[in-house]
Amino acid sequence: MPELGRAALIVCLGLAVYGVAAGTAGPWSRRRRLAESAENAILASFGATVVAAVVLLAALVRKDFSFVYVWEHTSVELPRSYTLSSFWGGQEGSLLLWLLILTGFSSVAVLLARRSARSLLAWTVPVLAGVIGFFSFMLVLVSSPFATQRAPAEGLGLNPSLQNPYMLAHPPMLYLGFVGLTIPFAFAMGALLARRSDELWIVVTRRWTLVAWAFLGFGQLLGAHWAYVEVGWGGYFAWDPVENAALMPWLAATAFLHSVMIQEKRGMLKIWNVLLVIGAFALALFGTFLTRSGILSSIHSFPESTIGPWFLGFIGVVVLASTALVLSRLPLLRARTRLESPISREASFLYNNLLLVAFCLTILWGVAYPILTEAVRGEPITVGPPYYNFFLKAFGLPLLLLMGIGPLIAWRRASLRGLGRTFAWPLAVAVGSGGALLALGAGSSILGLVGYTFCAFVLASIGFEFARGTQARRALAGGSWVLAFAQLVGRNRRRYGGYVVHAAIVLLAIGVIGSSAYDTTGEQRLRPGQSLAVGGYTLTYRGTTSERGANAVELRALVDVERNGEHLGVMRPGKNEYIAEQQVSNEAAIRPDRLNGEDLFLIAEQLRPGGPVFLKVLVKPLVNLIWVAGFVFLAGSLIALWPDAREQRRLAVRYGRAEALSRA
């Protein structure tokens, strides 16, 4: 059915072109029907993309090798469960997934805004249609997933690294994040095109931004866990260009989520917020460009292709056009108020923004530098982890500290007496924790000790925020502590959901610091029967086993693990030899200790059946808190996202649609 897939994408492209033309002409000439037909074009583009996606999925499930894409990314022996991940395992399929999510999100945004922000929607539609148009153009004319050939008997198979359950969730989550950032961008541009000075676009896109940001954040953690268990080098984040590509828009979106609160509460930072939305969207496109163009070498990226210049051109158009629009609307974006004091909640948000953006820009520079040096000198100069780690410490530690300081300071301004009262307990907890950790030997890493002291401060600050808030609520409304706590959180979900997310970041920091500043490593060539002692563990190599899996030969080293004379079990690091793909993948063995969050991580290299092994051993304290942080992050995001009926009623009154809301 390749013709149907092609036809569906051509229809989608036609609808997008119409959406741009009618979506611009409609509000320009104040012709309501024209504007509504442009909205319908967005909805119809989703239907057309669904048809194209179903055609490709059906071909993948049937292993129809007459589709070049199916032949390149599946094989007869590929397990059915990984057929789905081969949908986005290649360039053309991943672009189709982009378009599918984009048209889906755009359609939902159009349907919701029809009820709540009709006047803003009119100018938003051509922006959405423009982005849809670019991706459908790429799929129709540059990188089609529906190219055909005479069907070979066997496919080339899927990259072994992608044959992992995490690959079923990690890429779609990142795409949901990347694509989700289109919606706030489109509404911000729509507001500027309509010359609006109100903040309706922020209200309409508040949840979209949070959803995109949460998907992007959780998707990155899933990717980190995939790298940890599958890639087998013992780490979870390597400052790979494609990992950075996902981190940069997340940092920009994080900055926006904080600074937009200042605009909502104090009417400030309007220009800054629009620029952050543009930046986050442009960085999401840049991330897609990095992965799809093959311009940089990465485990995640696709082979070099012709789509790079198109992406670069589109990013250039987006950045130039949106910046020009912002400049032309500067009078509308002037703030009505000023920062009253450098010691206030809004000031702490501003410092947080500056650090986040500075960190984001240093990463961008590190990613762009090899590309620029290759363009200028003819050979790339790679920027390695030491560069990024330096800036992670330089910006990350102050950011961590600010997470604890911000909630303790009042809006507008704070006096020294007030600060002393709110800071006393968190500071005491931090100093006490730092002292205790020093006594326990954590002073072996000064930065680690400082980081943990900051973590204690932030956790104490969050704990006291919840405690003081609950106390105040109970004093006002009475009832039990539990009821007061529930009411406190329920009445201000964004704030307390945000605090839970902050707690997740602290858990992440504890895990990262523990596993990087206090880890133990060892490596040795072992013959059967020989032992190696690392970090309190004794590891004895017993020999090898070999099994035929579904689509690979699985060779494993058998390693006995003991600690303090107690036998803890047998670990099996090794490698898989994939038959159809003719590739070998490293298969690490990991033994988590649920009591202290520590992992024993084994890598078996130079392994031959019955022969010796070169065993690498890593003991990573507290690393499992990183994965726990993912679930806490998700819980905090859900609390912040959960609809608040009181808030909805207030907004309905504000935007004059109480009647419409009561009918809905």
Q: Which residues are near other proteins by CB under 8 A?
A: 1-4, 6-8, 11, 14-15, 18, 32-34, 36-37, 40-41, 43-44, 47-48, 51, 118-119, 196-200, 264-267, 336-337, 340, 408-415, 417-418, 421-422, 465, 468-469, 471-473, 475-476, 491, 650, 653-657, 659-660
Residue with the two structure tokens 């095109």? 193
Q: Which is nearer to other proteins, 468 or 572 (CB)?
A: 468
Q: Which is nearer to other proteins, 211 or 262 (CB)?
A: 262
Instruction: Quote the least distance from Cβ 424 to other proteins, whole Å.
Output: 10
Interatomic CA distance for residues 154 and 175, integer angstroms: 30
Q: Which is nearer to other proteins, 343 or 517 (CB)?
A: 343
Instruction: Quote the least distance from Cβ 659 to other proteins, whole Å.
Output: 7
Q: Enumerate helices (H) and strands (E) in the chain, giving the number of each.
A: 21, 10
Interatomic CA distance for residues 551 and 579, integer angstroms: 6
Instruction: Quote the least distance from Cβ 432 to other proteins, whole Å.
Output: 21
Instruction: Quote the least distance from Cβ 33 to other proteins, whole Å.
Output: 4
| Among 364, 400, 360, CA closest to 383 | 364
> Quick one: tokens of 453?
């002291």
Q: Which is nearer to other proteins, 188 or 632 (CB)?
A: 188
Instruction: Quote the least distance from Cβ 10 to other proteins, whole Å.
Output: 8
Instruction: Quote the least distance from Cβ 255 to other proteins, whole Å.
Output: 21
Interatomic CA distance for residues 90 and 69, integer angstroms: 8
Amino acid (one-letter) located at 619: V
> Quick one: tokens of 434?
């730092």
Tell the burial category of 409 from Cβ atoms under 10 Å away from its Cβ (0-12, 13-18, 19+). buried
Give the other-Cβ count within 10 Å of 613's Cβ.
Answer: 26
Q: Which is nearer to other proteins, 14 or 535 (CB)?
A: 14
Instruction: Quote the least distance from Cβ 49 to other proteins, whole Å.
Output: 11
Interatomic CA distance for residues 19 and 16, integer angstroms: 5
Interatomic CA distance for residues 273 and 258, integer angstroms: 10
Q: Which is nearer to other proteins, 196 or 572 (CB)?
A: 196
Instruction: Quote the least distance from Cβ 420 to other proteins, whole Å.
Output: 10
Tell the burial category of 84 from Cβ atoms under 10 Å away from its Cβ (0-12, 13-18, 19+). middle
DSSP code string of 210-241: HHHHHHHHHHHHHHHHHIIIII-SS-S----H
Q: Which is nearer to other proteins, 3 or 154 (CB)?
A: 3
Yes or no: say if 174 and 223 are a contact pair by the CB < 8 Å rule: yes
Yes or no: say if 183 and 105 are a contact pair by the CB < 8 Å rule: yes
Give the other-Cβ count within 10 Å of 176's Cβ.
Answer: 20
Q: Which is nearer to other proteins, 563 or 650 (CB)?
A: 650
Q: Which is nearer to other proteins, 415 or 521 (CB)?
A: 415
φ and ψ at residue 67, rounded to 5 degrees: -85, 120
Instruction: Quote the least distance from Cβ 640 to other proteins, whole Å.
Output: 17
Q: Which is nearer to other proteins, 55 or 607 (CB)?
A: 55
The DSSP letter of residue 140 is I
Residue with the two structure tokens 């038959």? 579
Yes or no: say if 267 and 334 are a contact pair by the CB < 8 Å rule: no
- The distance of Cα 130 from the centroid of its chain, to the nearest Å, equals 24
Q: Which is nearer to other proteins, 62 or 542 (CB)?
A: 62
Instruction: Quote the least distance from Cβ 650 to other proteins, whole Å.
Output: 7
Yes or no: say if 189 and 127 are a contact pair by the CB < 8 Å rule: yes
Instruction: Quote the least distance from Cβ 470 to other proteins, whole Å.
Output: 10
Instruction: Quote the least distance from Cβ 197 to other proteins, whole Å.
Output: 6
Residue with the two structure tokens 């330089």? 394
Instruction: Quote the least distance from Cβ 216 to other proteins, whole Å.
Output: 28
3-state helix, strand, coil in the chain (%, to 5): 65, 10, 20
* 158: region left, alpha or beta (phi > 0 left; psi from -120 to 50 alpha): beta
Q: Which is nearer to other proteins, 369 or 655 (CB)?
A: 655
| Secondary structure class of 552 (helix, strand, coil) | strand
Interatomic CA distance for residues 558 and 535, integer angstroms: 19
Q: Which is nearer to other proteins, 19 or 89 (CB)?
A: 19
Instruction: Quote the least distance from Cβ 257 to other proteins, whole Å.
Output: 17
Interatomic CA distance for residues 611 and 616, integer angstroms: 16
Q: Which is nearer to other proteins, 34 or 96 (CB)?
A: 34
Q: ∠ CA(133), CA(139), CA(144), 5° rounding?
A: 165
Yes or no: say if 52 and 95 are a contact pair by the CB < 8 Å rule: no
